[in-house]
Structure 1
Amino acid sequence: MALGMIASTNICERMGRSQELSEFKRGTVIGCHLCNKSIREISLILTIPRSTVSGIITKWKQLETTATQS
């Protein structure tokens, strides 16, 4: 029974790999970063993977934007 509960909290099941974050949520990641929150803290607060948080921050530092590519 405990395994069923763990499986339902899997981020890939809830979000799916092809779904992209809203502009608001990407901006929130940057806001948290500017408030000196760690990648781990941001990930926990917004319930998104650490790799996603890291990618958003990296892109923002390099390109100065959080917009998705067309």
Structure 2
Amino acid sequence: MCNKSIPEISLLLNIPWSAVSGIITKWKQLGTTATQPCKMTEWGQRMLKRTVRRSRQLSAESIAKDLQTLCGLHNNSA
């Protein structure tokens, strides 16, 4: 798709131009289009606070495991 504009690529592939733009941006920044592990964003911080608030009896290990699963990370030290 070299030398094509974002709208042209969008029409050729029949996907939204915002998706095309996001993929191109990801490629330029990371050199890959593969899914990356999530970072602790505002959303992640809110999820952590909500989880702790709702389940005060859970251990830190249990909460950490849940967050790793949620973010697609796997702890291989177990």
Superposed CA offset, 1:11-62 (max 9, x none):
xxxxxxxxxxxxxxxxxxxxx1xx1100000000000000000000000000
Larger radius of gyration: 2
Counterpart for residue 44 of structure 2: none
Higher relative contact order (CA closer than 8 Å, sequence separation 6+): 1
Gaps of 5+ in 2: 38-78
How far did 1:68 drift?
A: 1.3
Gaps of 5+ in 1: 1-31
Counterpart for residue 25 of structure 2: 58
TM-score normalised to structure 2 length = 0.45
Number of aligned residue pairs: 37
Q: Does 1:39 align with 2:12?
A: no
Instruction: Tell me which protein shows more helix as a share of its residues.
Output: 1
How far did 1:69 drift?
A: 2.1
